[in-house]
Structures are given as C-alpha cells and as structure tokens.
Chain A
Amino acid sequence: MVTPDLKALAERPACYWNEDGIPELVIGALWIFYAASQLAGIGLRPGLVRTAFWIVMPLVWMVGCFYFTIWGIKRIKERVTYPRTGYVSYLTPRSAWAIGIVVSVLALAGIIILLFAGIGIRLMNLLPSVCSLLLAAFIAFLAIMLKTPRLLILSGAALVSAIGMPLLHLGENGFLWLWLWLGTVSAVTGALRLRSFLRGHPRNQGREA
C-alpha cells in the first residue's frame, strides 16, 4: 500500500492560496497605489491640503494594508476561484503568532533604521537598497516555502532594484520607486497567472455532486 505524503498534503492548501495569482495582483495594485499617492503627496504645495494629505494617507495605507488586502482578495476569490476549483477557509493564526510576527517585523525595521541613522545620514540613502535586498530574500524564501517558483521573478525584481537604486542615485525617494517597480512586477505576474488559471479552469467545470 502506498502511504500518501502527509506533510505535502497538509501544505497544499497554503499553496492553493497563490494558485490563481489574485494575491499578487491585489498586493501589486496596492503597492502601486501607495507609491503613486506618495508621489502625489510630494508634489503638493505646502499648506493645509498637504498637511491633511500626510495625516490621512498613512491611515488609508494602514487600513488598506491590514484590512483591504485580505478582504479584497477573499471577495475576488469568491467570484473567480472558488466556483472553479473549490472553496476553502483557512485556520486563523493564533493571536500570539500574529502579534509575534508584527512585533518582529517592526523590531527589524526599527533596528535597520537606527543602525543606518547611527552610521550617518549619507548611508540613510542606502536604506531602500538594503530593504530591497531583505525583501528579495524574504520573497525567495516564500517562493520555496509555498512551492511557487513564479515568486522568484518578484524576488529577482527586488534584487535588481537593490543593485540599481544606488547606481541611479535615487536617494531617500528610492522607496517610492521600489514600491512602484515591485507593484508593477507583482501585478503583471499575478495578472498573467490569473489569465492562465482562468483558461485552465472554465467556470462550470465541476460544480458539486
């Protein structure tokens, strides 16, 4: 009797989340929106509008990041993915886990900023590059963990920007171009994946028994 690979089977639902390309598309769109809004904010003349913009924008971004992304992806999946390949609902991570992840990310960000600020203001210009490098490593790790090789394209794009930003002397505006660049790559790879997913899974392929 052949015993199924239990570990691989238990990991399959996690891989299913990325199968349709929708998460990359939505996250990519959100990054583009963020970069575009920041660019618009920089262009505003000093005054009430500019002040209001910089008060409202971080709030919009935080809500968008933590709420809209997951909500938006789920709503799109309900219409596009679940009728084609089946519905799943994921186990909610333990709150201690979620808090641990958020605290770790914030701590890492804080350490990097303090480290660069301590070394000198000139090196602060290298911060977007370093963050891009870390992001490239993190996305490559995700690609391996989720068995999603196309994420390596995004990881490669982050690596290219890590190398390219100091060469182009983008300075502290590097972050804006980083999100714009990565958002575009993510949205394009997500859209291409979604297109092939839709072609491979016609809508009334196998609805219920």
Chain B
Amino acid sequence: MTDLDRLLHEPARLVIVALLSGLKEADFLYLLRESSLTKGNLSSHLSRLEEAGYIEIEKTFRGKIPLTLVRLTKTGRAAFRDYKKAINSLLAKRTA
C-alpha cells in the first residue's frame, strides 16, 4: 500500500488522469461529462493535480466562449504508469 501514489489513489483523480492518459488534451466540459463529477469537485481535483505537476491547465477562448484545456504532463504520465504497475503487482500478490 505504501508504494501507491496517494494523490492518484483517489477515485475521482484517478478517473481524471486515466481519461487524460489516452489523449493529448481535453477541455473541462469533456472531463465533466466523462467523470460525472460536479463542476466544483472537478475544479478542486484539477487544482490538486496541477499543484502536484501532474497536469497543465490552459485557460483560453474559442471565439467568445471560455475554454479550459487540460493536459497530462510527462510527470503525470510517469506517475500514472507507476501507479498502474504498483496496483497491478498488489492485485497479483493478493490473488497469488
């Protein structure tokens, strides 16, 4: 259990990072819809991930509409990869 990244070992944040892992970037609306979190909840989790350097948030505009782009950093991708390895080895130990 000690090997697991505590920041990622929270279901909502794990969902966000897992969704972003298959993408270059996504906007707030996509993450909101796919994660089924509330706007406030999603914002707070994104802030935590940004503070840890796992994601980058870019606030921009498309025409007159505000657009919040979120992308996984190299650190974030590596952390997610390590987390998957750690959880898989834990599960393997448990089933063995």
Query: Chain A interface (Cβ within 8 Å of chain B)?
Result: 1-4, 6, 9-14, 16, 82-83, 85-92, 206-209
- Binding site of B, secondary structure by majority: helix, strand, loop or mixed? helix
Contacts of A92 in B (CB 8 A): 24
Bound together, the chains give a CA A3 to CA B90 distance in angstroms of 13
CB distance from B48 to the nearest CB of A (A): 16
Per the CB 8 Å criterion, the residue count for chain B at the interface is 30
Contacts of A89 in B (CB 8 A): 23-26
Q: Are A86 and B11 in contact (CB under 8 A)?
A: no
Contacts of B74 in A (CB 8 A): none
Q: Are B22 and A12 in contact (CB under 8 A)?
A: yes
Q: Are A87 and B22 in contact (CB under 8 A)?
A: no
Contacts of A3 in B (CB 8 A): 11, 14, 87
Contacts of B25 in A (CB 8 A): 88-89
Complex interface bits, B32-53 against A, C-beta within 8 A gives 1, otherwise 0: 1110000100110000000000
Q: Are A208 and B28 in contact (CB under 8 A)?
A: yes
Considering only CB atoms, which chain A residue lies closest to B83 in the complex?
A6
CB distance from A90 to the nearest CB of B (A): 6
Bound together, the chains give a CA A69 to CA B56 distance in angstroms of 30
CB distance from B77 to the nearest CB of A (A): 10
CB distance from A15 to the nearest CB of B (A): 10
Contacts of A87 in B (CB 8 A): 26-27, 29-30, 62, 67, 69
Q: Are A83 and B65 in contact (CB under 8 A)?
A: yes
